[in-house]
Amino acid sequence: MKFLSSSTKNFESVLKKYFSFKNETLSLEPFAEFLESIKKADFTDVLNYFKANPTITHHFKYYISNIFEGRPFNLSLTEANILSENAFFPELKKRILNKVLPPVENEKTVWYMVDNISFRPKKDLEYLHNLPENEMDEFLEILGISDFIQKPKVKRELIFSMNILSWRVTGMALDVEVVRMAPEYRNFDNPFLALQKELETLAEEFKINPDIQLTSKDSRYKQIKIYTEQCLDFVNIAFKNSSKYGISGKINQALLKIRQQTQRIYEIVQLLVIDNDADVIIRSKQLMFNILSYKSHKNNISELFNDSTRMISHLITNHTAETGSHYITSNRKQYMKMFYKASGGGIIVGALCVLKMLYGFMPGSDFFHAFLYSLNYAMGFVMIYLMGFTLATKQPAMTAATMTKVLSEQGNSKRNNTEFADLVSKLFRSQFIAFVGNVLLAFPVAMAIIYGLDVFFSQNLAVEKSEKLLRDLDPFNSKAILHASIAGFYLFISGIISGNIGNNSIFFQIPDRIAKNQSIKRVFGAKFAKSLSKYYAKNWAGIVSNFWFGVFLGATAPIGLFFGLDLDIRHITFAAGNFALGLYGKDFSVDSYTFWLALLTVFIIGFFNFLVSFSLSMFLAFRSRKLNFGEVSEIYREIFKYFLKNPLKFFIPLRSTFDHKTSNMMQNTIPTKSEDQ
C-alpha cells in the first residue's frame, strides 16, 4: 500500500523518526514519507541538514542500500511503457484494469518500489528535473550512489534488459506478415538478428570481464548503434509501405511494439557509454529519470490511442484522399460535369423522398420502419454511386483528406500558402455547384412525382405528412440543426468506412485473389475474373460506404423513437425534396414566413452537413499526418485574404494564374490506385 500519512510531516521530523538509529527494516514507508516531505522544503536545507547530521546521514545511506539490495530493475526497463499485448483492444482493456485495480507486483523488484513510494510518478519526475543540477549531484554523492551506474550488478541488469528486448523484438520482426511490409530488406541481412548477436556477444564478454566499460568510440557501441538505427529504418519503411500494401491492426500494433523495444535498447546502451568522469553521475541520474519516466506512462490510455490509431487513420485518409481528388474541379468543363453528376443524384434523391414518405404509411413496428427506410436510403445511395452521379455532402469527408495530404506534403511557405488558397477556392466552388445540382433537381423531381401520384390516385398523398415536413424545416421549432449535424457525423463515418475498406482490400490482396482464383477462372473464364477484380478494386469501398451511410440515415429516427429520444437526420438534398412535398401537401397555401424560413433552413442544413463532416474529417486527417491546427493559422489567414480579393472564384470557375501550380500540387501528392497496388 502507499503511505498517505506522509504529507503532514516535515523532512527533519521524518529523518529523526526513522534514522536517528540504524534502521534495519525493509519497509518502504520511511522512504515514501521522506520523498513526500522534501517536496515541501527548500532542497538546499535538506542538503545542509544531511551535512550537519553525519549520524543520520550514515543511517539513511545504510537504509537506502538495504532496501535496494537484491532488487532487480530489469522489469522497469523491459515492461514499463511498452505495449504488452499484440492487439489494440486487449491492450486497452489491460490498461483500464490496471488503472482501476493496479496489478499485484513482485515485492522484491524496483518496479514494486517505484509503485509504492511514488504517489504521482509524473509529478515526482518533474520535481527531480526542476532541482538544481549541482544540488542533485551533491545529494547523490552524500548518499554514495553518484557512481552506481558503474556497479557490476547495475551493468548486468542493463545488459540483461537489452538482451530480453532483443529476443522479443527479433521474434516479432521475423513474423511473415511483418517481413512482407518491408520487402526492401529481403536481399540484406536482417538487422534484428545482427543486433541480437551483438548484444549476446556483449553479455558473454561481461561474464568474463564484469568491469567492461563502453565509450562512444568503442566498436561494440558503434555496432549496436548502427543495428538499432537499421532496425528503426526497417519499421519506418514498413509503415511507409503501408500505403502500398495496406496494414492490419495487428501488424500496426506489432510494428509499434518493435519500434518501442528497439528505441528502448538504444536508450539503455547509451547509459553504458562513459567517456569521462563527468559522464558517470550524468548516466546514474539518467537511469533514475528513465525508470520514473517509463513508469509514469505505463498505463497511459491517451498515448495508446494516439500511437495505435494514428497509422490506421493515416491509411484511411490516404485512401479517401484518392477518392477526394476526383471531387475538386479545376476548369469550366469539370465544373459543369460536377453539376450534371450532382443533378443526377438530385433526381434519385427526389424519388427517395417520396418513397420514404410512402413507407411511413405502412403499418409496422419501429424496427420494421427502420429496415424500410434504411433499405430505401442504402439502395438509393448505391445507385447514385454506381451510375456515376454524386451526392454533394459525400464530398467533404473525401476532400478534407485530399486537402490535408496536399498541405502536409507542400511545405508552409508564403508562396505555397497562396497556391493552397487557390486550391481551396476550387474545392469550395466544387462543393457549391454540387449543392446547387442536388437541390435544383431534388425539389422539382419530388414535386413531379407527388403530382403524378395525385393525378393517378386522385388523392394528395402528402397532405397528412405536410405539417411535419414543414415543421422539420423550422430551426426554431425543431432540432433541424442538431439533426443536420448528426447527418454530417454519418457522412464522416461513411468516409472512414470507405478508407478502411480500401485499406483492407489492399492489405488482404482481395483484387489479386479474385483475379487468380482458380474456381472463378474455371467456371467463368480468366477474362471474367480479371474484370471482376478490377470492378471490385474500383467500386467495392464505395458500395459498402454508401450502403452503410444509407443504413445510418434510415435507422436513426426509428431507433431514436424506440428509445424515446428525439433523434433524426436532416440532409440538404432530402430537405429540398421534403420541402416540395410539404408545399404540395398544403396546396401551396403557406404564408411567406413559412416559405422563406423553410427555404433558408434547407441551406442551413447543407451548411451543417458540410461543416460537421468536413471538420471531423480534417481533424482526423490532420491528426494522422501529425499536423498542428495552430501551425496552419497562417494558411487560414491566407485563404481569407484570397477570398476577399477573389470572391467569385469560390463560386464560379474563373481562370487563375495558379491553375497550373495547383494542378501540379494535386498530381504530385495524390497517388493513383494503380500506383499503390
Tell me the per-residue pLDDT of 398-435, one tens digit each, with 9 for 90 and over.
555 556 656 555 555 555 667 777 777 887 888 888 88
162 in Cβ contact with 199 (< 8 Å): yes
pLDDT in tens, 336-360: 999 999 999 999 999 999 999 999 8
Query: Residues of the chain with pLDDT > 90: what percent?
Result: 40
- Alpha-carbon torsion, ordered 349, 353, 358, 360, to 10 deg: 120
Written as one string, the DSSP assignment of 272-320 is TB--SHHHHHHHHHHHHHHHHHHHHTTT-HHHHHHHHHHHHHHHHHHHH
Distance of alpha carbon 573 from alpha carbon 346, whole angstroms: 7
The one-letter code for the residue type at 566 is D
Whole-number pLDDT of residue 311: 57
pLDDT in tens, 307-331: 666 656 665 655 554 554 556 677 8
Taking the alpha carbons at both ends of the chain, their separation in whole angstroms is: 56
pLDDT band at 4; cut points 50, 70, 90: very low
Q: How many CB atoms sit inside 10 A of residue 94's CB?
A: 16
What is the three-class DSSP state of 214? strand
User: What's the mean pLDDT in 185-204?
Assistant: 86
Q: Is the pLDDT of residue 623 over 80?
A: no
Whole-number pLDDT of residue 430: 84
Whole-number pLDDT of residue 399: 58
Q: How many CB atoms sit inside 10 A of residue 182's CB?
A: 20
pLDDT in tens, 220-242: 999 999 999 999 999 989 888 87
Q: Is the pLDDT of residue 108 over 90?
A: no
Whole-number pLDDT of residue 130: 87
Q: Assign residue 146 a region (left: φ > 0; alpha: ψ between -120 and 50; beta: otherwise).
A: alpha
Q: Where are the alpha helices (DSSP H) in 325-478?
A: 332-360, 366-386, 395-410, 414-457, 463-471
- 363 versus 112: which is more confidently predicted? 363
Q: Is the pLDDT of residue 561 over 90?
A: no
pLDDT mean across residues, the chain:
84
Q: Which candidate, 83, 78, 493, 81, places its Cα nearest to that of 250?
A: 83
Going from the C-alpha of 505 to that of each of 500, 502, 510, the distances in angstroms are: 8, 5, 5
| HSE, side-chain direction, 13 A CA sphere, residue 667 | 7
User: What's the mean pLDDT in 159-184?
Assistant: 90
Distance of alpha carbon 39 from alpha carbon 52, whole angstroms: 20
pLDDT in tens, 14-46: 899 899 888 888 888 888 888 888 888 888 999
Whole-number pLDDT of residue 504: 84
pLDDT in tens, 596-607: 999 999 999 988
pLDDT band at 676; cut points 50, 70, 90: very low
pLDDT in tens, 537-555: 989 988 999 999 999 999 9
Of the listed ranges 43-52, 178-187, 657-666, the one predicted with least confidence:
657-666
Whole-number pLDDT of residue 671: 46
Whole-number pLDDT of residue 359: 92
Whole-number pLDDT of residue 270: 94
Distance of alpha carbon 328 from alpha carbon 431, whole angstroms: 8
> DSSP secondary-structure letter at 44?
H
Distance of alpha carbon 296 from alpha carbon 99, whole angstroms: 12
pLDDT in tens, 48-61: 999 999 999 999 99
| HSE, side-chain direction, 13 A CA sphere, residue 524 | 13
